[in-house]
Amino acid sequence: MVTDVVISGAGPNGLMLACELSLAGAHPLVVERLPERALENRANGLVGQVVRMLDRRGLYERLTGTTDPPAPTPGFVFGAMPLNLSALENNPLHTLLVPQRRIEQVLEERAIELGVEIRRGQEVTGFTQHEDRVVIEVSGTAGPYQIEARYLVGADGGHSITRKLAQIAFPGVTTDHTISRTAHAKVPAELVDPVGGGLNVPGYGPIPPMVHQRTERGMFVYAPLPSSPWPLVTTIEWGQEDAEGPLTIPELRASIRRVLGADIELGRPEGEGPHLLRKLTGGNTRLAERFRDRRVLLVGDAAHVHSAIGGPGLNLGLQDAINLGWKLAAVINGRAGEDLLDTYETERRPVAERVIMSTRAQAALVAPGSEVTGLRALFAELLADPGNLRRIADLMSGNDIRYAAGDHPLVGRWAPDLILDDGVRLAELTRDARPLLIDFTGEDWGYPQTQGRSAVPCTALLVRPDGYVAWATDAPQPDEKSRASLEAALARWALTLAVTW
Ligand SMILES: Cc1cc2nc3c(=O)[nH]c(=O)nc-3n(C[C@H](O)[C@H](O)[C@H](O)COP(=O)(O)OP(=O)(O)OC[C@H]3O[C@@H](n4cnc5c(N)ncnc54)[C@H](O)[C@@H]3O)c2cc1C
């Protein structure tokens, strides 16, 4: 038996891909090296368009327990520069404070609900590509075995074995000049501001919660997160000798003294953990030379790694998976040719390149030194201009993505959050990942369609399963030209509006 798709790795991006493939009518099998879900604390939240995308799959509701739509965040930071977004009209930046562990749990539950098989404690160790399939070598608890699949997707993280065995180069840079120290820690109660939730540090001053503090010697963050009774305390220092061994609370305290020039009497957290104590030296910024080699594709960290500054990793990776899922399923189910798969890379590589640009720019803005202080003063002046502020918010959210351009300005853009008939939100109609034809004219386009009543700059639009606009028109009613362009868009993206697949 040949499996449709083997996904190597049950991290967030592999699990999301498994959900998307299932929704689109393909049968994925996930192979995960770890016997249990990882307890490691990585992402503390999601930043950007992915929050709205999760709403469009009903996963935002599962993560938050509310049926309310996500609301934009009034403030955020870019390179430790505070962004006051509340003044922006149509603020595009959404955030969701939720630990990666929880995201993975919700995605795993959803994948299982959709009938996905997840094999844990099994490691992909090799593969051979054939004309019509890939033979994958797996090392399991009962010994090695093979799986035949039509496609293999490497969602196996930054050290991806899939990428390495496919001989896809991973060019970029590795630096070793930073040391980041993060721990759950006990902070003296008298330093905590009961109103704002930040700290008042004698000898330094007020430090708002979650807002990066850059000094000429390093960076400090105080993050009281809902996922733990103990706040996360982080420092980053440059060009400093690494202290031997794993991080200790006294080492973090000494680092704070150097960065802030003031002391915070940190203590060890009490009670049940896991309590984080993490020291990371340096970092990688790399982008895979190709996202595909014949029947092997890469998503998420397997395709790109970069600094975690600004939290863009899962905005990028989860939307890779959502971009790839429906396309790969259409090819597997014979509805599309291989050229549809090529659009995965042509659409997602430029997005990864922008994330890399943004994280590099932020890393430069938080670096120590008086030149950087000058650069920051200039940047602060630029951010006072609402046009520039919007540009940064668009960059961080991914709201500036425009995939394939078309003859209407909405084509290739994120479909607006429309209100449709009966007050239903677009996000409530896209949970099964079907494409939607939305009509505002009250006319019949000859396909199953949904009537809308929002004021958007078009009279009808076609939304792809990943939430982007495939086609839009201003024609007041269906005419020959608009019908022909709709048909062309349906064919180009292999979209079917039929009620069943
Ligand atoms: C310190 C830190 C903080 C971060 N903070 C944020 C944040 O706030 N917001 C954000 O959006 N992102 C953040 N990120 C980035 C985010 O954690 C990653 O982008 C994300 O984990 C990538 O998911 P993935 O599924 O691609 O890979 P991974 O999460 O690395 O998952 C890969 C999976 O593949 C498995 N695997 C590996 N090799 C094999 C094999 N041979 N066979 C089978 N299975 C295999 C692994 O066990 C793992 O489960 C942070 C990252 C770090 C390190």
Q: Which tokens hold the place of 113? A: 């609900």
14 lines ligand 1 (CB under 6 A): yes
Query: What one-character DSSP code corresponds to residue 9?
Result: -
- Buried/exposed code over 167-180 (b: 16+ C-beta within 10 A; e: otherwise): ebebeeeeeeebbb
The model carries a pTM of 0.96
Using the mean position of ligand 1's atoms as its centre, give its distance from the Cα of residue 236 in Å: 21
Name the CA dihedral angle for 85, 86, 89, 90, rounded to a multiple of 10 degrees: 80
Neighbours of 293 (CB within 10 A): 19
Atom number in ligand 1 closest to CA 315: 11
156 lines ligand 1 (CB under 6 A): yes
CA distances from 289 to 169, 170, 401, 413 (A): 5, 6, 21, 26
Q: What is the β-pairing status of strands 277-287 and 172-184?
A: antiparallel
Of the candidates 123, 107, 401, 160, the residue with the CA atom closest to the CA atom of residue 297: 160
Atom number in ligand 1 closest to CA 156: 34
Of the candidates 314, 319, 355, 360, the residue with the CA atom closest to the CA atom of residue 44: 314
Query: What one-character DSSP code corresponds to residue 380?
Result: H
d(CA 362, CA 357): 9
Atom number in ligand 1 closest to CA 15: 25
Q: Is 127 exposed, middle or buried (0-12, 13-18, 19+ CB in 10 A)?
A: buried
12 lines ligand 1 (CB under 6 A): yes
d(CA 213, CA 220): 5
Using the mean position of ligand 1's atoms as its centre, give its distance from the Cα of residue 154 in Å: 12
Q: Is 192 exposed, middle or buried (0-12, 13-18, 19+ CB in 10 A)?
A: middle
- Which sign, positive or negative, has the C-alpha torsion 106, 107, 110, 116? negative
Give, for all 501 residues of the chain, the pLDDT tens digit. Answer: 899 999 999 999 999 999 999 999 999 999 999 999 887 778 999 999 999 999 999 999 999 999 999 999 999 999 999 999 998 999 999 999 999 999 999 999 999 999 999 999 999 999 999 999 999 999 998 999 999 999 999 999 999 999 999 999 999 999 888 999 999 999 999 999 999 999 999 999 999 999 999 999 999 999 999 888 999 999 999 988 776 789 999 999 999 999 999 999 999 999 887 899 999 998 999 999 999 999 999 999 999 999 999 999 999 999 999 999 999 999 999 999 999 999 999 999 999 999 999 999 999 999 999 999 999 999 999 999 999 999 999 999 999 999 987 889 999 999 998 888 778 999 999 999 999 999 998 899 999 998 887 668 899 999 999 999 999 999 999 999 999 999 999 999 999 997 654
Q: Which tokens hold the place of 79? A: 């390179």
Instruction: Residue count of the chain, please give it.
Output: 501
Contact 47, 310 (CB under 8 A): yes
Using the mean position of ligand 1's atoms as its centre, give its distance from the Cα of residue 117 in Å: 20
Ligand 1 pocket mutation, candidates 42, 76, 179, 279, criterion most atoms within 8 A of CB: 42
Please compute, for residue 54, the number of CA atoms within 13 A of its CA located in the half-sphere on the CB side: 36
